[in-house]
Amino acid sequence: MAYDIHLADRIGQVLNAKKIPFEEKKMMGGLCYMVDDKMCVGIINDSLMIRIDPEIQDELLQKSGCRIMDFTKRPMKGFLYVDPVGTDMDEDLENWIQYALDFNPKAKSSKKKK
């Protein structure tokens, strides 16, 4: 599966401008941005994937282009997709990324495989 390279560049620019150290990892057929060794944001096809506080999920789902992440055909609480209509403007993309960054310190790190 391919992912939107232009969106990848824009995400990198936002994280660099905020001086957030991150690591890019190819996973789930897309690209994931790890912050503090935790999945924070990513790209699947042309959609932004964000990991957010599950408590604000319903509120964010009201925003343009936002939908539940159902990568495994089952809804994933605390993970959302934002379609291109919701990330077209730089300010909108920055806001979505900020939601993920705000939750990142509270997010649990995935267990490392031995």
Predicted pLDDT at 114: 47
What's the pLDDT tens digit per position in 55-100? 999 999 999 999 999 877 788 889 999 999 999 999 999 999 999 9
Specify the CATH number of the domain 5-105: 3.90.1150.30
Total-model pTM: 0.91
pLDDT at 7: 97
The single residue listed with the structure tokens 């539940």 is 68
Half-sphere exposure at residue 27, Cβ-oriented, CA atoms within 13 angstroms = 12
Please give the share of the chain, as a percent, with pLDDT higher than 70. Answer: 94
Q: Domain segments of the chain: what residues?
A: 5-105
| Residue 78 dihedral angles phi and psi, to the nearest 5° | 90, 5
Find the helix or strand (DSSP H, E) in which 82 lies: strand 79-82
In Å, the largest CA–CA distance within the chain is 41
Question: Is residue 48's pLDDT more than 50?
Answer: yes
